[in-house]
Structure 1
Amino acid sequence: MSHYRRLRDLREDRDLTQRQLADLLQMKQPQYQRYESGERDISSELLIQLADYYGVSTDYILGRTNNPKINR
């Protein structure tokens, strides 16, 4: 599975703890931690939810581009 380093970077840029973000996503902190560490693969639904929350593209979160802007 992938290591979603950008998830951590985006979260830290907003000065959020894993617990705070997990609460926003309505999940427990250990579950969210497994996404950041790559222990659990991220679902499409959660990926879109996070991209919308941070205002970045899903490709940016996945590391497919270094451009966080969303192409419309």
Structure 2
Amino acid sequence: MLEYFNLTIDKVIPILRYILFHGIKRNDLCPCGSGRVIKRCHGKKMIELANGIKKAGVEEIYFELLNYLKEKCE
């Protein structure tokens, strides 16, 4: 997942959270924190991910990343 977005885990988690809980609105600011709108930043990858993976699959990946981050920060 990190390689897919070419980002660090602290940037991928907000993207996954956004997909899960907000849906993708192309003119919203990208959740990666770049300051750009989604369509000019990670929009294509976010749409591919949302369309290609069931929400349950994304949730599983999201919680795995959260657990990984918690373990790494301890």
TM superposition score normalised by structure 2? 0.31
Scaled by the length of structure 1, what TM-score is found?
A: 0.32
Structure number with the higher helix fraction is: 2
**Between Structure 1 and Structure 2, whose CA radius of gyration is higher?**
2
